Every structure is written in C-alpha cells, then in structure tokens.
Amino acid sequence: MDKLLDGLLSPNFEEQSCQSRYQSSAYRKPSPHKQSSYLISRLRNYEALHKRCGPNSPLYHKSISQLKSGHSMGLMECNYLVWSPFNGLGNRMLTIASAFLYALLTNRVLLLHVTNDLDDLFCEPFPDSTWVLPSDFPIKDLEKLNLGSEQTYGNYLKNKRIIRTDVKVMAESLPAYVYLHLEHDYKHLDRLFFCDNDQQVLAKVNWLLIKSDMYFVPGLFFLSQFEDELGWMFPERETIFHHLSRYLFHPTNSVWGMITRYYISYMANADEKMGIQIRTLPHIPISIEIFSDQILACSWQENLLPSINQSITQAEMNGGRTKTVLVTSLNSEYYEKMKSMYYEHRTSTGEIISFSQPSHEVKQHTEKQSHNQKALAEMFLLSYCDVLVTSGWSTFGYIAQGIAGLKPWILLSPKDQKAPDPPCRRAMSMEPCFHSPPSYDCKANKNVDLGQILRHVRHCEDVERGIKLF
Ligand code: GDP
C-alpha cells in the first residue's frame, strides 16, 4: 500500500503530526485513477513557492507592505489568493479546492482565513509552511465582504476603477487588492471573472481575495489561457476534485480519532459497505415518509439493497454475507425506519444488512467547531464505502464521492413535495456540480448555454442549470 498515493503527497512531513495523511489509504481500495506526473511536478513546485512566499517569510512581509501602499506593483515575486469561508463545510471544501487550482494556474499562493469554527479540522497540506492567513493581516472583516462591497471586481468595473478591455494596463494603476465575489448570488460583472480579458487584468493585481460557495472549476475550462495547463495536469478531467481533495484535505488527529473509532466499531468487518447521505434543503421541501420511500425505491430498483421478503426461510440465508449501511443525516428518523424494516423482516437474498449512523445533529451549526468536525468525519466515513447514494444539490455528498472516487446514485429532488420518478440517477462522473455557472460567452459577447459548448462539460444530473466535468 503506497501511503503517499504514488507521489501525490509530499514526503516532507512528520507522520505523527497528521496520522490521516498516512493511514487513510489503508481504509479504501487504491484509486484506479492515477494522477499525471505533470500534476505531481506542479504540486512540488507549488510547495516550494508556498514555502518561499508563505506567512512570515521576508517575501510575505514585502507583499504586505505593497498591500498597505494602496496599489498593485508590477514586479512582486509573490502574489496571493486569500480565501474566506462561506456557507457549510461542503461548500467550503469545494471552494478551497477550486481556489487552489486557480492559484496553481495563476502562480499565486493560497492562504486561508481560518475562523474559529474551522480550527482543528484540516492538517497543513504544504510542508514547512502554513496556509493559515496570519491574524495580523491588514484587511479586517474579510467575511463581511459581499456583493455590494466597493472592492469587488464587478464594482471596480462598474465604477470604472478598472477597465476590463485595458489588458495593457500598468499594475501601478490598479488597486492593491480585488475581491472576487463568486457566491451563488453573483451578477454579470463579477461573472466576467470567467473571461480571458479579465484574467489578463486580474493577473496584474498582487492580492486577490475570494469568497465563494461553489465548485467553480468547470468554469475555468472556458478560459483559453488555462486550457493547456488543465489538460496536462488532468488528462482525465473527471478526476480533478478526486486528486485535489486527496492532496489537500487530511483530517487532523482529533477528527481522525473519530473516524477510526467509528470505522473499526461499525464498518470494518462487513463484506460490503454502502453509504446513504441524506440531506433535505429548505428550498426543496419533502416529508420524511416520502423521502424514505424514495431512498428505498432507489436502493431496490438499482439493486443496491435487497428487498425484504416475508416468505424466505432461515435456511436460505446467503452464507452469512453482511452488508453495512452507513447513514448520514441531520435527522435520525431515516436510519430508524430502515433499521427497523431490516430487523423485522428477512431479505430476499438472505444477506444480513446492518445500519448505523454516527450522529444526528438535528440542525446545521456551521458556526460550531465540534459540529464541523463531525461533518468532516462523516464525509470521510462515506468515502470509505463501496457504493454511495447521495442527495441531489448537496455539496456534502459531492465531497464524499470525490474523495472516494465513486460515481454515486443521486437522489433527485422532489417536485411539488412529491418524489420524482425515477427516484435516482447514476452520476455521469464523480466530479461535483458547479451550481450557478456563468451564461456569457465572452468571445461572442452574448448569453449562451455553457452546458452545450465544451465536449467534456455537461449539465448536472441534480441541478438543471449547473454544469460539471465528465
Ligand atoms: P450542503 O448544504 O448539503 O451543500 O452541505 P454543506 O456541508 O455545505 O452544509 C451542510 C452542513 O450541515 C454540513 O457542513 C454540516 O454542518 C451539516 N450537516 C448536513 N448533513 C449532515 C450530516 O449528515 N451529518 C452531519 N454531521 N452534519 C450534517
């Protein structure tokens, strides 16, 4: 078993400081998707850049002086991308991965504004440095930046502080930093981020701040300047989040303790492991009864779970084969219902099905660190399953499928509070969906359907307007 995932992970760490980095691979089958050697060399170069420019290095201090000067400067050795959290943990992890890829493509150093609720979740991914933004960073209240802030790219364009067609602009005439507002409520001018011209201007700004709740990687494929690099780094396009998440996200020892204790207690001995990730969203309501029936209909139709059968005799049991089903949800009702059903009845195949659920937190509490630790632990536990059923629209499920490298069966969203038919669809790829992509063709200067333009980008199974790589 290669602990360092065939060179994806740097050997320059101390094992005890982050056990998950070395032990996680033992909990799942080796990934059939090998990363390119080009990606590995880009990662090693990035790590060297991060070490040179990272917090507390002389070059970082030089860049902080530039930031305080109020304008950009042409010849800085280090340029930065500062990420701030927004929305739930799944959203956050998708945007960290997207921001990291953008940093790789633009030779920037990625720093994270780690709020208290994100403490003790992830190990440092880059050796001999930190990705945590120092607390004395001169721009305060990063989380308050929003659509209306004057520093958004869109507002700078609107107020003519930046002229997007002026690709020859001198860096000195540009602001010291620009805030990229890529949240789902973003408007046309902020969406111009996905245009080549605009990227040429943004390349001259030394500090970019970013806040998003979306996996915006598919949008980077519409930028012709990144096309070759993306192709070399990821010849298999549907593996981008798979490789990036395995590279970036290593639960800290505290979270790893939760993961391993649970895995050994409830999952390790089963012949087969299935994960069912259940998430209902306020904007698409559905009752617990109807959603439970939809989950079972999907599992039975797709032969993921055996149906229950009253008539089979005990002697027909299938050699004692066991399947364990890991249920994750904020509620316990789904788990209770399925567990009782398979406790009270025999299965048609004779298989023994057991159910477990690590937590039922009732409500989302992203502001609580211990709540986020449980969420992270459950994403990882789901990623150790052989088969996944996930809830449409949920970024929580995208994380599990991406780390696992699995194409899940996606529970489609209800319509008018009724279960859809079919209840679920197999995902075309393991990539997450970009929920609100732009719809502007920068070259043609008109609105188009970006789900129809590139060969390897399609609309998502669960979000009609969304796009994903496959
Ligand atoms: P999304 O809202 O489904 O896209 O996923 P997010 O992860 O961005 O936000 C949902 C948040 O609610 C999670 O991060 C958790 O804090 C919480 N949550 C939702 N479902 C579960 C679950 O099954 N288990 C746990 N522990 N927390 C959950």
* Ligand 1 contact via 262 beta carbon (within 6 Å): no
**What pLDDT, in 10s, does the model give residues 336-375?**
999 999 999 999 999 999 999 999 999 999 999 999 999 9
Tell me the pLDDT of the chain averaged across its residues: 95
Does the pLDDT value for residue 273 go beyond 70?
yes
- Domain C-terminal end among 197, 227, 248: 248
Does the pLDDT value for residue 315 go beyond 60?
no
287 and 231, same domain (yes or no): no
415 and 296, same domain (yes or no): yes
227 and 311, same domain (yes or no): no
349 and 235, same domain (yes or no): no
Does the pLDDT value for residue 77 go beyond 80?
yes
Does the pLDDT value for residue 314 go beyond 70?
no
10 and 124, same domain (yes or no): yes
Name the packing angle between helices 89-106 and 37-53 (round to 10°): 90
Asked whether the CA dihedral 35, 37, 38, 43 is positive or negative, the reply is positive
* Ligand 1 contact via 361 beta carbon (within 6 Å): yes
* Ligand 1 contact via 212 beta carbon (within 6 Å): no
From the CA of 398, give the closest atom in ligand 1: 4
Does the pLDDT value for residue 242 go beyond 90?
yes
Which residue range forms the structural domain that includes residue 361? 253-469
Q: What is the dihedral of CA 205, 211, 216, 219, to 10 degrees?
A: -40
356 and 462, same domain (yes or no): yes
What pLDDT does 123 receive? Answer: 98
Asked whether 108 and 208 are in contact (CB, 8 A), the reply is yes
Mean per-residue pLDDT, 426-454: 94
The complex's ipTM? Answer: 0.99
Mean per-residue pLDDT, 112-132: 97
What pLDDT does 417 receive? Answer: 85
241 and 343, same domain (yes or no): no
Q: What is the dihedral of CA 254, 260, 262, 264, to 10 degrees?
A: -160
426 and 443, same domain (yes or no): yes
* Ligand 1 contact via 375 beta carbon (within 6 Å): yes
> How many domains, the chain?
2
262 and 234, same domain (yes or no): no
82 and 140, same domain (yes or no): yes
Report the nearest-CA residue for atom 9 of ligand 1: 88
- In the Cβ-directed half-sphere of 263, how many Cα atoms lie within 13 Å? 20
- Domain C-terminal end among 195, 227, 248: 248
230 and 293, same domain (yes or no): no
Residue percentage of the chain with pLDDT more than 70: 98
- Domain C-terminal end among 248, 278, 293: 248
204 and 161, same domain (yes or no): yes
CATH number for the domain that contains residue 457: 3.40.50.11350
